[in-house]
């Protein structure tokens, strides 16, 4: 046993990556065909999505089995931790692009269209009636886009959602304490609470979207305010969903008796990811809803 | 127990299927390099179409739309298909060998990083046959022009998503391998410089590729879902695309050159038979270039309309890059100073890199001067500039690396005479190809056009002749590699007598699995020692 563990575990021959390439390619080609109005697009998407699910379950399943059989030494664990950190960093940069778009619009493009600074002549000759304001409820050219009636208020559901996500960060940390102290009950209850709070967040977010679409006429196509609102909250919601799925897997594994007080990388990775979506939400709440 | 591990470790499945399911860093490195070579020829064919059309003024062979498809696709294929995968291939082969690691940190993910690429490029190249043709708005995909692409549009976006995912996973793998898999005797400041430059490159990739993914996603939603990121009618701004794109695009430029710096820093000490001059300053210069790459992006946009303060900031920050780059040039020259130099093929590529990359760097400083850029922008001067850094820089660096390490990979020496013929043909023809483009640009010939005013004819013909010659010269390279594998004489473990580094302590060809136990470092085995 120990002679195996001294060495860095190098797996041999895996079918999962090529399956993942086929699945992802089918998903994208299918989506492209839907967008260009060609046939079998949605079928291809479903097939590609199913292949991806199969791949993810298979690949992660293999890794979990290897981990449970003791194939991984501490150095492998360090690789996983580094890998997750860099992955989260890449996600930070991804959100950074969308926040950059938000700030560019708020600080530069909308005021310029309103005639500020070098935008003077654009304003004068193209859209002299446009008044710069944020949230943007009057568009430079209203004929191209269907503008929102009112902005999304920060009080109410968004504030409540902030509270929910912050509590979920506390519960996941409490679960971690339980795991480290060997109190499995606390681990399981903490994880279940975190998942429940995450799902509650998503439910409220869905309700808020319905309110935005039906009552406020606020959608992706209602000008740059709606565009940044939907894209930022949408991608954030997607990440909460992924985080919740990760935590559900962790809960399942905890119930199956996986993880030890000293070795529980998968738990840590999911918790880090959860904190990451939490921090994104705080920035989002501040700049998309509140200020 | 130990026997079964050993047997398991040597298992090397036969047949083509091996290459599909492999998790071995050497196999995957080979796949990357072969893929890059294939793309080099596909992208090269497109450039031949461009140079053929430009041989004479007027429209001879292509219609303008197809010409624009060629320039766009040539750039995308060469950047994402040839140069980047070639460097990742070199990293795959060499980094574990150079740091004494048994493999990459995530061998399965390594396989996926590669195997996304054939799918991504099948998707991208298939657009050539779609209604409306391939993307033709330039590789920079500026809206609103790119939004007028035909059915190819979503395929362009999704192929970039796939390439980005591949690069991102490759970069995470490389950075984790370097940080966590080094033999215990090797602290960061004793790593070979190729490993250092790749560490920084991987960081740049992880920081930049998600931004590209984000911005092309915005293009997709602008076209199909009614968002108004880049539409002023809804409060957005087309210029915003350029800002976000070049925030990715400028680090991307260094992603394509830093590993070449590492290659040259490896080759020159070997053939000058002296340790690299100024190891630590090379490391700090690399890190400085990486930092600066994030605060210079708008020098690609001087004429697009920016506040004066921004023009000045981006001019000065861009000029700062000349300092760490100059440090590197001086260090390479100082390494050669009073060395016992010999001029085997890898060394020829490295020396020509130093000279020709410097030409590209200096025309870069010219372009950095905002008022001067107002004259140069969108002319062939820009084309000449970035081909000097990308072809006689990056691509020459890759060729140098391949000649340097080919004996280690194949176990056989390449034919030195043929290698030198390949080098001299390439260096003569590439200068014939690109140097006149400086004159054309300064005389006012715009880039990305199929036709031109009659006074530009002479230099265009010279450039085209250089282009055809350079293209044909690359066939010699294919023959050299093929010949080395088939008929080369056996190479010893330490192929070059001045070479240092762990990769030379294993036999040639390198066994399928190496350094399953972390190696001990002997004296003088590292590049940084003796400085």
Q: What pLDDT, on the 0 to 100 scale, is given for residue A118?
A: 79
Task: Label residue B356 by pLDDT band (50, 70, 90).
Answer: very high
* Cα B333 to Cα B142, B260, B275, B284, B336, distances in angstroms: 40, 16, 12, 18, 5
Distance CA B40, CA B135 (A): 19
B186 exposure class (CB count in 10 Å sphere: 0-12, 13-18, 19+): buried
Q: How far apart are CA B159 and CA B134, in angstroms?
A: 12
B512–chain A Cβ distance below 8 A for any pair: no
CATH number of B31-505: 1.20.210.10
**Considering only CB atoms, which chain B residues are within 8 Å of A8?**
101-103, 181
Closest chain A residue to the Cα of B230, Cα to Cα: A224
Q: Which residues from A are below 8 Å from B221, CB to CB? A: 220, 227, 231
Whether the predicted interface score ipTM is above 0.90 = yes
Give the pLDDT of residue A1.
36
Of how many residues is chain B composed? Answer: 531
Q: What is the pLDDT of residues B1-58, one digit of tens each?
A: 344 444 455 566 678 889 999 999 999 999 999 999 999 999 999 999 999 999 999 9
Q: What percent of chain B has pLDDT over 90?
A: 93
Helix (H, G, I), strand (E, B) or coil at B379: strand
**pLDDT above 70: residue B93:** yes
Nearest to A17 among B108, B162, B168 (CB): B108
Same domain for A262 and A186: yes
* CATH code of the domain covering residue A230: 1.20.120.80
Say if residue B531's pLDDT is above 70: no
Residues contacting residue B243 through CB under 8 Å, at least 6 positions apart: A100, A104, B297, B298, B301
Going B195 to B199 to B201 to B206, the CA torsion angle's sign is: positive
The pLDDT score that the predictor gives to residue B287 is 97
Q: How many domains does chain A have?
A: 2
Specify the pTM: 0.96
Partner residue facing A227 (CB), from B11, B224, B234: B234
Same domain? For A68 and A79 the reply is no
- Position B328 scores a pLDDT of 97
Within its chain, how far is the Cα of B471 from the centroid? Answer: 18
All structural domains of chain B with their residue ranges: 31-505
- The reply to whether residue A25 touches residue B119, judged by beta carbons under 8 angstroms, is yes
Q: What is the 3-class SS of chain A, one letter each residue? A: CHHHHHCCCCCCCCCHHHHHHHHHHHHHHHHHHHHCCCCCHHHHHHHHHHHHHHHHHHHHHHHHHHHHCCCCCHHHHHHHHHHHHHHHHHHHHHHHHHHHHHHHHHHHHHHHHCCCHHHHHHHHHCCCCCCCCCCCCCCCCCCCCCCCCCCCCCCCHHHHHHHHHHHHHHHHHHHHHHHHHCCHHHHHHHHHHHHHHHHHHHHHHHHHHHHHHHCCCCCCCCHHHHHHHHHHHHHHHHHHHHHHHHHHHHHHHHHCCCCCCCCCHHHHHHHHHHHHHHHHHHHHHHHHHHC
Give the separation between CA A143 and CA A163, rounded to whole angstroms.
39
On whether both A136 and A12 belong to a single domain, the answer is no
Identify the band that residue B524 occupies on the pLDDT scale cut at 50, 70 and 90: low
Interface membership of B365 toward A (CB under 8 Å): no
Q: Which of residues 31-60 of B touch A (CB under 8 A)?
A: none
Inter-chain touch A10–B107, beta carbons under 8 Å: yes
* pLDDT average, residue stretch B412-421: 97
- My answer on whether A24 and A143 are in the same domain is no
Mutate to test the interface with B, among A2, A6, A21 (most CBs of B within 10 A): A21
Residue A178, Ramachandran bin (φ over 0: left; ψ between -120 and 50: alpha; else beta): alpha
B486 is catalytic: no
Closest CA–CA distance from residue B158 to any residue of chain A (Å):
6
Active site residue B139: yes
Domain extent, residue A38, equals: 1-72
Contact B234 A59 (CB under 8 A): no
Can you tell me the mean pLDDT for B414-436? 98
Give the pLDDT of residue B474. 98
pLDDT at A5: 65
In three-state secondary structure terms, B410 is helix
- Mind listing the pLDDT tens digit for each residue in B144-164? 999 999 999 999 999 999 999
B8 is catalytic: no
Nearest to B194 by CA among B282, B289, B278: B282
Q: Do B123 and A101 touch (CB under 8 A)?
A: no
Q: What is the dihedral of CA B99, B101, B106, B109, to 10 degrees?
A: 70
Structure tokens at B62: 């292509």
Ranges A234-243, B86-95, B471-480, B494-503: which has the least confidence: B494-503
Q: Does B155 touch chain A (CB under 8 A)?
A: yes
Q: CA angle, corner B247, sides to B244 and B250, nearest 5?
A: 140
End-to-end alpha carbon distance in chain B: 45
Q: What is the mean pLDDT of residues B137-143?
A: 96
The residue of chain A with its CA nearest to that of B180 is A79
pLDDT confidence of residue B15? 83
Closest in A7, A96, A231 to B516, CB measured: A7
Question: What rounded mean pLDDT belongs to chain B?
Answer: 95
Q: How far apart are CA A9 and CA A1, in angstroms?
A: 13
Residue pair B200/B188 in contact (Cβ under 8 Å)? The answer is no
Which A residues in the span 178-217 are in contact with B, Cβ-Cβ below 8 Å?
none
Residue B10 is encoded by which pair of tokens?
Answer: 């040597």
Chain segment A213-229, per-residue pLDDT in tens: 999 999 999 999 999 99
Instruction: Report whether the peptide linkage leading into residue A217 is cis, meaning its omega lies within 30 degrees of zero.
Output: no
Strand partners, B379: B446
Residue of B nearest to A91 (CA): B210
**B273 classed as catalytic:** no
Residue B530 predicted with pLDDT over 50: no
Same domain, A65 and A81: no
The residues with which B490 forms a beta bridge, in sequence order, are B412
pLDDT tens, B283-295? 999 999 999 999 9
Give me the phi and psi of B446, to 5 degrees please.
-70, 155
Q: How far is B133 from chain A (nearest CA, A)?
A: 14
Judge whether residue B182 has pLDDT over 90.
yes
- Cβ pair B23, A14 in contact under 8 A: yes
Q: Is the confidence at residue B74, as pLDDT, over 80?
A: yes
Q: Are the Cβ atoms of A227 and B2 closer than 8 angstroms? A: no
Same domain? For A85 and A47 the reply is no
- The answer to whether the CB atoms of B151 and A36 lie below 8 A apart is yes
Q: Which residues of chain A have pLDDT under 70?
A: 1-5
* 8 Å CB contact of A90 and B232: no
Distance CA A43, CA A30 (A): 7
Residue B3 bears catalytic tag:
no
Closest partner residue to B233 (CB to CB) among A15, A35, A139 is A139
């Amino acid at each position: 046993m120990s002679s195996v563990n001294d060495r860095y575990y190098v797996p041999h021959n895996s079918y999962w990556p090529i399956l993942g390439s086929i699945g992802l390619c089918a998903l994208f080609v299918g989506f492209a065909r839907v967008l260009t109005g060609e046939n079998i697009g949605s079928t291809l998407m479903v097939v590609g999505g199913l292949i991806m699910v199969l791949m993810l379950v298979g690949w992660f399943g293999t890794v979990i089995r290897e981990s449970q059989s003791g194939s991984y030494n501490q150095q492998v664990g360090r690789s996983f931790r580094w890998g997750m950190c860099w992955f989260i960093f890449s996600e930070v940069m991804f959100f950074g692009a969308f926040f950059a778009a938000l700030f560019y619009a708020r600080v530069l493009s909308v005021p310029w269209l309103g005639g500020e600074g070098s935008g003077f002549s654009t304003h004068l000759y193209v859209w002299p009636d446009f008044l710069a304001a944020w949230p943007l409820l009057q568009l430079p050219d209203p004929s191209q886009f269907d503008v929102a009636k009112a902005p999304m208020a920060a009080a109410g559901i968004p504030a409540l959602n902030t509270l929910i996500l912050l509590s979920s960060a506390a519960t996941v940390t409490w679960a971690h304490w339980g795991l480290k102290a060997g109190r499995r009950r606390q681990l399981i209850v903490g994880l279940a609470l975190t998942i429940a709070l995450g799902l509650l967040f998503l439910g409220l977010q869905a309700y808020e979207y319905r309110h935005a679409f039906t009552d406020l006429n606020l959608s992706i196509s209602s000008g740059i305010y709606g565009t940044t609102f939907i894209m930022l909250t949408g991608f954030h919601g997607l990440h909460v969903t992924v985080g919740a799925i990760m935590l559900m897997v962790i809960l399942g594994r905890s119930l199956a008796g996986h993880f030890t007080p000293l070795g529980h990388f998968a738990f840590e990775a999911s918790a880090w990811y959860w904190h990451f979506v939490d921090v994104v939400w705080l920035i989002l709440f501040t700049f998309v809803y509140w200020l | 127990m130990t026997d079964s591990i050993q047997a398991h470790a040597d298992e090397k499945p036969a047949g083509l299927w091996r290459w599909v399911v492999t998790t071995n860093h050497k196999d995957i490195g080979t796949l990357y390099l072969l893929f890059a070579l294939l793309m080099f020829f596909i992208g090269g064919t497109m450039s031949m179409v461009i140079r053929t059309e430009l041989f004479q003024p007027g429209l001879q062979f292509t219609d303008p739309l197809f010409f624009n498809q060629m320039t766009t696709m040539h750039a995308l294929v060469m950047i994402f298909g040839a140069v980047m995968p070639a460097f990742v291939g070199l990293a795959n082969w060499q980094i574990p060998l150079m740091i004494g690691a048994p493999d990459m940190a995530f061998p399965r993910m390594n396989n996926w990083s590669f195997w996304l690429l054939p799918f991504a490029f099948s998707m991208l190249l298939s657009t050539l046959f779609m209604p409306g043709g391939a993307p033709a708005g330039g590789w920079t995909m500026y809206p609103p022009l790119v939004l007028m692409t035909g059915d190819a549009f979503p395929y362009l976006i999704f192929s970039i998503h796939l390439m980005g995912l591949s690069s991102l996973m490759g970069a995470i793998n490389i950075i984790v391998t370097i940080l966590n898999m080094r033999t215990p005797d090797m602290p960061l400041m004793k790593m070979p410089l190729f490993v250092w430059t790749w560490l920084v490159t991987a960081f740049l990739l992880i920081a930049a590729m998600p931004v590209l993914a984000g911005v092309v996603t915005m293009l997709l939603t602008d076209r199909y879902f009614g968002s108004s990121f880049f539409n002023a009618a809804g409060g957005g701004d087309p210029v915003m695309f350029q800002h976000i794109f070049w925030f990715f695009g400028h680090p991307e430029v260094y992603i394509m050159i830093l590993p070449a710096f590492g290659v040259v820093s490896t080759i020159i000490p070997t053939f000058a038979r002296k340790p690299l001059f100024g190891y630590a300053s090379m490391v700090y210069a690399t890190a400085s270039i990486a930092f600066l790459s994030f605060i210079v992006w708008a020098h690609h946009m001087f004429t697009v309309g920016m506040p004066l303060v921004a023009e000045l900031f981006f001019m000065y920050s861009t000029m700062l890059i000349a300092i760490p780059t100059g440090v590197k040039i001086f260090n390479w020259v100082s390494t050669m100073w009073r060395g016992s130099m010999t001029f085997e093929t890898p060394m020829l590529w490295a020396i020509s890199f130093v000279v020709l990359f410097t030409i590209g760097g200096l025309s870069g400083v010219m372009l950095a001067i905002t008022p001067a850029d107002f004259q140069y922008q969108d002319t062939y001067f820009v084309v000449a500039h970035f081909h000097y850094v990308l072809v006689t820089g990056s691509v020459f660096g890759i060729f140098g690396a391949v000649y340097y390490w080919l004996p280690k990979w194949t176990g056989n020496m390449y034919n030195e005479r043929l290698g030198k013929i390949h080098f001299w043909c390439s260096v003569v023809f590439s200068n014939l190809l690109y140097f006149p483009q400086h004159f054309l640009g300064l005389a006012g010939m715009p880039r990305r056009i199929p036709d031109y005013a009659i006074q530009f004819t002479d230099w265009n013909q010279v450039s085209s002749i250089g282009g055809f010659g350079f293209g044909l010269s690359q066939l010699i390279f294919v023959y050299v590699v093929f010949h080395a594998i088939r008929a080369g004489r056996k190479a010893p473990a330490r192929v070059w007598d001045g070479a240092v580094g762990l990769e030379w302590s294993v036999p040639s060809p390198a066994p399928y699995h190496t350094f399953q136990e972390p190696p001990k470092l002997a004296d003088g085995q590292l590049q940084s020692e003796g400085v």
